[in-house]
Amino acid sequence: MIKKVKVEQLEPGIFVHDFNCEWRENSLRVDQLMIKDRRIIDILSSMGVQEVYIDTDRGRDVRDAKSAFEVKREVDKALHSMAKNGTTPAATVSFTEELQVAKNIKKQATTVMAKAMEDVRQGKALETEGTYVLIDKMNESISRNKDALLLLTKIRNKDEYTLMHSVSVGAYILNFCNANQIPHRRTMDLAIGAMFHDLGKTLVPLTILNKPGKLVESELEVMRRHPEYSAKILRSTEGLPAESYDIGLHHHERFDGNGYPHGLKGDKITFGSQLAAIADVFDALTSDRCYKKGIDRVAGLRKLYEWSEFHFNKELTYQFIRSIGVYPIGACVKLESERIGVVIGSTDDVLRPVVRVFYDDRKKNPVPVYDLDLSHSDDGVQGYEDPLKWQVQREKLFDDVQASFF
């Protein structure tokens, strides 16, 4: 059985199934391990890891630890009630309609960000005007319909990971600001910092940046210099707000002091950097990398929730989760009527998305596929379902939505 335990509960003879530490980028060289002696426990503590998942079928048990299933159920319940307490602004145009505009914005973003990165690589001054124009367009798109651009930036080819990651983090910040009515000027300051937060990576050798495996310690050391590089570039660029280079410098700091480069704790980290840290980790988790596949967005939200206990500002994480919506497009859900479906759109009620229904679990029978707008229905979401269990991908339920991405 998979169980979640505190690092202090670990003992030799326990098998670690998942170090649960992707809140640190590229942190450990192995994914699973049998604990042979206390050395690894000390390493985990020194890294700031608080909780891990163990496999009791492959090693010793920890009696009163919660099972992964129980943890998941608790987190899902918390996410559901979190959504009840929040509102997100209603979309003013449909997802499909906005997707056409968002596609052009994505294209423009690729050009603008590639130029910014190339300029830095060549030691030229960073030109910010084009990025500000781009951010404005992204902001408008998100306020019309947040899902189009947020989903579109997930689709990226391998070599444009860093580029699209920056755009995606920018889009999440804009979405957060839009959901929380942050004034326009402040929104722009935060977004430009988010767009440029990883510019320092341009100065990290490509062999390290795009390495298709885990980095060794010396490579990690080089990689961990990128926030300082980012800050240096942004500080020397005329007209950028102080908050932007702070985001460059401190987006890898963690709320409990276990981040880098300065190990800042709590409110010693600025609001912008706390927020960028959450968006940065969420995007990294849910996007495909050169060495691993991204997890689905619901799984990503669960992880943010779990880690907010230690590594992020808790309230801010909750606000961030609400801004995305706990039933994002692509989430597989069970309805109160026991029917199973996939979320294909949001409505102005965060708890009542549009669901494509394909199975009746009460009758244990597939049903002819139909779309149900829960904001106009007595039915509601009961909880999440595992998309793998229902073979959502193989059922091609989502094809028309996905096909419109390209």
| Residues making contact with Fe ion (CB under 5 A) | 198, 280
**Min separation Cβ 251 and Fe ion, Å:** 6
**End-to-end CA separation in angstroms for the chain:** 41
**Min separation Cβ 19 and Fe ion, Å:** 20
The type of residue at 255 is: F
Q: How far is CA 59 from CA 32, 53, 55, 67, in A?
A: 12, 12, 6, 15
**Min separation Cβ 23 and Fe ion, Å:** 13
Buried b (16+ CB within 10 A) or exposed e, 142-152: bbbbbbbbbbb
Of 360, 310, 355, 307, whose CA–CA distance to 331 is shortest? 355
Main-chain dihedrals φ then ψ at residue 127, nearest 5 degrees = -100, 125
Q: 280 or 306, CB closer to Fe ion?
A: 280
The Cα 246–Cα 273 span in angstroms is: 7
**Min separation Cβ 225 and Fe ion, Å:** 11
Q: 147 or 198, CB closer to Fe ion?
A: 198
The Cα 50–Cα 68 span in angstroms is: 16
Q: 7 or 167, CB closer to Fe ion?
A: 167
Q: 51 or 198, CB closer to Fe ion?
A: 198
**Min separation Cβ 172 and Fe ion, Å:** 11
**Min separation Cβ 289 and Fe ion, Å:** 12
**Min separation Cβ 168 and Fe ion, Å:** 9
Lookup: tokens for 390: 């229902």
**Min separation Cβ 257 and Fe ion, Å:** 18
Burial of 260 (0-12, 13-18, 19+ CB in 10 A): middle
**Min separation Cβ 384 and Fe ion, Å:** 27
Q: 252 or 356, CB closer to Fe ion?
A: 252
**Min separation Cβ 162 and Fe ion, Å:** 8
Q: 193 or 345, CB closer to Fe ion?
A: 193
**Min separation Cβ 276 and Fe ion, Å:** 8
Q: Please state the length of the chain.
A: 406
